Amino acid sequence: MVVDTIIAKSGSPLSQVLAMMMDSVPEGLALGASFAHNHGLGLVLAVFIGLQNLPEGFNSYLELNKRMTNMKTLFLLFILATADVFAALLGEFLLAEKPKIIAYIMIFASGGILYLIFQDIAPLSKVRKNWIPATGASFGFILGMMGERLIN
């Protein structure tokens, strides 16, 4: 919150980048560690992360592109995607045998996501009489439960 406040006062698009990094790097670490332990779980997690990142990436592009040129926006998103790959490799090769460290990283990331949801996303949601967001969230939860059931 403190870093977000400082960046937001500067008017920089880095606030959006910070939120994306707090989400994607821990996801990559957890994904890499899960692949090291259970390939099926890693695959299911990769699919869910990919599905969740599609609308997030599209939204991030639109938000960043309001303040940056197309090339700068695409370059920044490319760097973030590359950081995710390195995080996954780090998770697989260095953190796979350290579940407590992964848990602490994920707790930190979940705090960042909750902050992002209530700071940026929820206040902007003004969809009335529309069932798509709530149904989509419910469907995603059910899909996650089914995926977990398939691998166990």
CA distances from 42 to 4, 38, 50, 101 (A): 31, 6, 12, 18
Residue 17: what pLDDT?
A: 73
d(CA 57, CA 114): 18
The pLDDT value given to residue 133: 66
Can you give the pLDDT at residue 119?
A: 66
The predicted model scores a pTM of 0.68
Q: Which residues of the chain have pLDDT under 70?
A: 1, 4, 11, 13-16, 112-114, 116-134, 137, 152
How high is the pLDDT of residue 146? 83
* Sign of the dihedral through C-alpha 68, 72, 74, 79: negative
Domain boundaries along the sequence of the chain: 2-121+132-151
